Structure 1
Amino acid sequence: MSIMRTKSIEQSIRETDEPEYQLKKRLSALDLTVFGVGVIIGAGIFTVTGRAAQEYAGPSIIISFVIGAVCCGLAALCYAEFASTVPVSGSAYTFSYAALGELVAWIIGWDLLLELMLGASVVAQGWSQYADLFLGQLGFDWPDALASGSHFDLLAFLLVATITLIVSLGIKESMRVNLVLVAVKVFIVLFVIVAGLGFVKASNYTPFIPPSQPTKAEEGLTAPLIQVLFGIEPVTFGILGIVTGASIVFFAYIGFDVVATTAEEAKNPQRDLPIGIIASLVICTVLYMAVAAVITGMVPYDQIDPKAALASAFESVGKGGYATLIAAGAVAGLTTVIMTLLIGATRVVFAMSRDWLLPPVLGKTNVGTGTPLRITISLGLFIALVASLTPIGKLEEMVNIGTLAAFTLVSVAVIILRRRRPDLQRAFKVPFVPVLPIVSALVCFYLMLNLSVETWLRFIVWMAIGFVLYFFYGHRNSRLSGRAKEGEVPSMTST
């Protein structure tokens, strides 16, 4: 049986009408835009901005954000075409099933699980740190034995458990909570921009592009793969520093792809999904650039605190009290990120189980809530345990490599599907095909090469586990297999 077997788009859409696997169509363009803003604006705006400016680009980090947005926008256009053409849960997994075949679809689905589950765990730990800081500023001392970095991070566990409960109630209920928290987060970001403008000094923007400086190269497993393969030495500041800064802040944009995982729950996916994906990216780009301009204008770039850029910037101008408000914004901001990542992960597993690549019993939706409860509770528990018990450290890079791998394959898939199915009605089309998708794929792959050898090795191990699962279960039990055609539904123990 060929591992390159593909499932037609028409078949994917037909399967969305199966009663036991049917999701409720309740999301509008506004819901999807808020969903996207909720997951994109997270720890990045509170931490990445300062670190990238201080270490790589100086005031020209503003240009880095533009470059990062353009690069991310290329992939966003590809996602928008697929999401409007194939309005089925699963995002890149579902798209690639139709264009690249079952094996590649499994690989992308496995990548997405890495991105979404590990991403939610990492963000939950970051939330715990900000929540601990926020509680301390309010005069409440959280026990060290249960704080972030301890053997059991209770705050992170309780947060994920609460979010899991909310997500289990239904997609619209989750979106109501998300809307409130996103509003709080955006208000804090706007407050930082407006309040900071009064303390901006024009002299801090000089030099706008600091002179280029060589920097110490990493060695061994921590070295970027591009350095090991091609001997390219790292450089900070100057034009190359702007490009390096763009590769750093690029990851602050990651998240718009999660919008595509809810395609099946959109009221009018052909119109609303492209709006949600592109609008959320544009809104976040404007906010990121404004924050970068304010921070580098308030504090000389070489004096920015990379760990707490926003809070320290206001402390440097005698407004330390604003740190409490910024911490509150971070707490609200990271909460929405975890919620959207959990929703995205459940929809990917839902799509894979509906295709019988995973046990189909997992994906059955609850009649009352219209959500896959088994998947939601299982993933929520897993994420809560990882967040509370695991010292994740550098595993954040694993989120990035999984995401970029998916971005690369989706870009390629746009070209392939255009050639295989020119007859499809596409509500949104990527312009300048095949040039633009090729550029998107090359940019994403280049950014993957900038990740460390250590990250690549971990990624290979994760993919090896995925291949074992696919060939021992998914390949033999999928809907496209001989067993499925004979009407045999695989069980949890099928091999």
Structure 2
Amino acid sequence: MNLVKRAFQKESVEGYLEKDGQMARVLSTKDLIGLGVGTVIGSGIFILPGHEAANNAGPAVAIAFLLAAVFSGICGMAFAEFSSAMPVAGSAYSYGSVIYGEVIGWVLGWSLILEYFLAVSAIATGFSAYFNSLLKEVGLSLPQTLQAGPEQGGFVNLMAILVILVATFILFAGLSQSKKVENAGVVLKVGIILLFIVGGLFFIKPANYADFYPKQFQTGLWGLGGITAATASIIFSFLGFDTIAAHAAEVKNPTKTMSRGILGTVVISSTLYTLFAIVLTGIVNYKKLGVDDPAAFALQTIKQTQFSVVITIGALIGMFTAILALIFASSRLAYSFGRDGLMPRTLGKVNRQHLPKNAIILAVVVESVLAGFIPLSTLTNLINIGTLTAFMFISFGVLFLRRRKDLKHNGFKMPLYPVLPAVSAALSLFLIIRLPLATLKLYLVWVIIGLLWYFLYGIKHSAINQDQ
């Protein structure tokens, strides 16, 4: 068999199901929504609405979030269909390996591992900034050398590492304990966000909406350049349903539960994001919102400083639950690589608590190093391109999934087939093109590194070779 033909050889769903039998199926719809909302409503809701309003869309940032939510909902349907048909660990990596062939699955998994690792590190860095700000409110502070990495004038971002380690400690306590912490954190976080939305309604100034979509942002086709740029930049916020798909091997009744968890996450998160953006830009003029803590800043502007501390605490809870969910997802993806032999097989082993211990340790070590020592401001768009690449391939993959007669597919099905899957894939490609050129170049380098690993190590040690 020649090398190209071997690289595009397809994995078997039955093989995945057999290997994933060592995982415990304990997650319910409520748990999946907790994981999804815990990821989606992370640092994004407390930072992105202000940044994108100030830099790309003005008050029309609410429309950008709504568009991102609609787009993510469509892509979410594709993931829901795949996860119902293939309730296995690995998300887009496993789906791609079955539908397109192993090398495409690997590229998708390689893209997602970049997305997860960078997202955990970026959110941990944001957690550290908010935590240090809260310390200053009570007259305390860490030494500057422990607040940032070497390139930012410090030695190590200690709090960013500590929050990752605390989340890991909870994960090692077992799936039952970690899902309780995640669900409780999500309830508290949503409550605080609703408090901001409802309370903020009384302080909205209609004049702040007068220039709803500022002229300087009306570029590109039909003048929608600012809104589409904002939409492309905030897709990262909606990667939560993708992390849900990573846990399909640990879900009860996945045929129904996966679609409910994914679509429930998109509906709840999109509603909160849109309302939050509307209230935020109504309280303060969009030009002033280009700060890292726009919600707290808005409350300070209207002399509600006591509630700004509550918002800061809400942000910390939000970021912590996102870190917990993303470490969860990244370790399951690393487990999938080890399960299939594309990375050392020790990553694919689970302990007595049905946890992929070695995969969790690998994820945490990489994420801690990135969060503690490397500034991620120039790399955040790589999170978006990894997400969008997975969205594109999985949306288009629905066209192939429906044609597979060897797969039992009695669960959720994406509506308006084949138009909606094709539209979803095309929109993903459009948003990739809207990302900065520097991001595309860095992503190409990452893909090349991944392909080198695959052809020098993965293809030789792949489980496909042993199954033949």
Instruction: Give the TM bin, normalised by the shorter chain.
Output: over 0.9
Distance, in Å, in 2 between the alignment partners of 1:467 and 1:92 is 17
Report the equivalent of 1:377.
Answer: 361
Tell whether the 8 Å contact from 1:121 to 1:384 is kept in structure 2 after alignment: yes
Q: How does 1:14-163 map to 2 (within 5 A)?
A: 14-17=18-21, 22-148=22-148, 149=152, 150-163=154-167
| Structure 1 counterpart of 2:382, from 377, 398, 404 | 398
Distance, in Å, in 1 between the alignment partners of 2:217 and 2:122 is 32
CA-CA distance at 1:238 after TM superposition: 5.4
| Structure 2 counterpart of 1:274, from 259, 262, 267 | 259
Pairing 1:285–2:263 present: no
Q: Letter of the aligned partner of 2:14 in structure 1?
A: E
Q: Letter of the aligned partner of 1:365 in structure 2?
A: V
Q: Letter of the aligned partner of 2:426 in structure 1?
A: L
Give TM-score, length-normalised by structure 2.
0.94
Evaluate the alpha carbon distance shift between residue 210 and residue 266 of structure 1 in structure 2; reply closer, same or farther with a 3 A threshold.
same
Tell whether the 8 Å contact from 2:57 to 2:217 is kept in structure 1 after alignment: no
Distance, in Å, in 1 between the alignment partners of 2:288 and 2:324 is 34
Distance, in Å, in 2 between the alignment partners of 1:419 and 1:206 is 51
Q: Letter of the aligned partner of 1:322 in structure 2?
A: F
CA-CA distance at 1:385 after TM superposition: 1.7
Greater helix percent: which structure? 2
| Structure 1 counterpart of 2:204, from 183, 186, 200 | 200
Evaluate the alpha carbon distance shift between residue 244 and residue 382 of structure 1 in structure 2; reply closer, same or farther with a 3 A threshold.
closer
Q: After the TM superposition, which of the residue ranges 303-312 and 408-417 deviates more from structure 2?
A: 303-312
Pairing 1:439–2:423 present: yes
Tell whether the 8 Å contact from 1:236 to 1:244 is kept in structure 2 after alignment: no
Identity percentage over the alignment? 35
Q: Letter of the aligned partner of 1:393 in structure 2?
A: S
Report the equivalent of 1:188.
Answer: 192
Distance, in Å, in 1 between the alignment partners of 2:220 and 2:97 is 40
Tell whether the 8 Å contact from 1:85 to 1:427 is kept in structure 2 after alignment: yes
| Structure 1 counterpart of 2:182, from 167, 178, 182 | 178
Distance, in Å, in 1 between the alignment partners of 2:467 and 2:281 is 62
Residue by residue over 1:173-228, the C-alpha shift from the partner in whole angstroms, topping out at 9 and shown as x without a partner, is: 111111122122112111111111110122322233333557xxxxxxxxxxxxxx
Tell whether the 8 Å contact from 1:61 to 1:242 is kept in structure 2 after alignment: yes
Distance, in Å, in 2 between the alignment partners of 1:300 and 1:15 is 54
CA-CA distance at 1:268 after TM superposition: 1.2
CA-CA distance at 1:235 after TM superposition: 5.6
Report the equivalent of 2:438.
Answer: 454
Evaluate the alpha carbon distance shift between residue 359 and residue 204 of structure 1 in structure 2; reply closer, same or farther with a 3 A threshold.
same
Distance, in Å, in 2 between the alignment partners of 1:212 and 1:193 is 28
Report the equivalent of 1:355.
Answer: 340
Report the equivalent of 1:242.
Answer: 227
Tell whether the 8 Å contact from 1:36 to 1:255 is kept in structure 2 after alignment: yes
Distance, in Å, in 1 between the alignment partners of 2:371 and 2:164 is 8
CA-CA distance at 1:415 after TM superposition: 0.9
CA-CA distance at 1:427 after TM superposition: 0.5
Report the equivalent of 1:413.
Answer: 397
Report the equivalent of 2:308.
Answer: 323
Evaluate the alpha carbon distance shift between residue 213 and residue 398 of structure 1 in structure 2; reply closer, same or farther with a 3 A threshold.
closer
Residue by residue over 1:422-443, the C-alpha shift from the partner in whole angstroms, topping out at 9 and shown as x without a partner, is: 7632310001222111111111
Evaluate the alpha carbon distance shift between residue 299 and residue 78 of structure 1 in structure 2; reply closer, same or farther with a 3 A threshold.
same
Q: After the TM superposition, which of the residue ranges 437-446 and 294-303 deviates more from structure 2?
A: 294-303
Distance, in Å, in 1 between the alignment partners of 2:404 and 2:265 is 30
Q: Letter of the aligned partner of 1:75 in structure 2?
A: C
Residue by residue over 1:438-488, the C-alpha shift from the partner in whole angstroms, topping out at 9 and shown as x without a partner, is: 11111111111122222122112211111121112211121211xx147xx
Distance, in Å, in 2 between the alignment partners of 1:236 and 1:108 is 30
- Kindly report the root-mean-square deviation, in angstroms, between the aligned alpha carbons of the 2 structures: 1.9
Q: After the TM superposition, which of the residue ranges 58-67 and 436-445 deviates more from structure 2?
A: 58-67
Distance, in Å, in 1 between the alignment partners of 2:343 and 2:106 is 10
Q: After the TM superposition, which of the residue ranges 141-150 and 129-138 deviates more from structure 2?
A: 141-150
SS at match of 2:305: coil
Q: Letter of the aligned partner of 1:244 in structure 2?
A: A
Tell whether the 8 Å contact from 2:83 to 2:254 is kept in structure 1 after alignment: yes
SS at match of 1:331: helix
SS at match of 2:74: helix
Evaluate the alpha carbon distance shift between residue 242 and residue 456 of structure 1 in structure 2; reply closer, same or farther with a 3 A threshold.
closer
Report the equivalent of 1:255.
Answer: 240
Tell whether the 8 Å contact from 1:56 to 1:236 is kept in structure 2 after alignment: no
Distance, in Å, in 1 between the alignment partners of 2:233 and 2:442 is 20
Tell whether the 8 Å contact from 2:235 to 2:384 is kept in structure 1 after alignment: no
Give TM-score, length-normalised by structure 1.
0.89
Report the equivalent of 1:11.
Answer: 15
CA-CA distance at 1:262 after TM superposition: 0.5
Residue by residue over 1:238-284, the C-alpha shift from the partner in whole angstroms, topping out at 9 and shown as x without a partner, is: 54433333223333222220000010101111111111111011101
Distance, in Å, in 1 between the alignment partners of 2:377 and 2:454 is 29
Report the equivalent of 1:429.
Answer: 413
Distance, in Å, in 2 between the alignment partners of 1:153 and 1:263 is 34
Q: Letter of the aligned partner of 2:17 in structure 1?
A: I
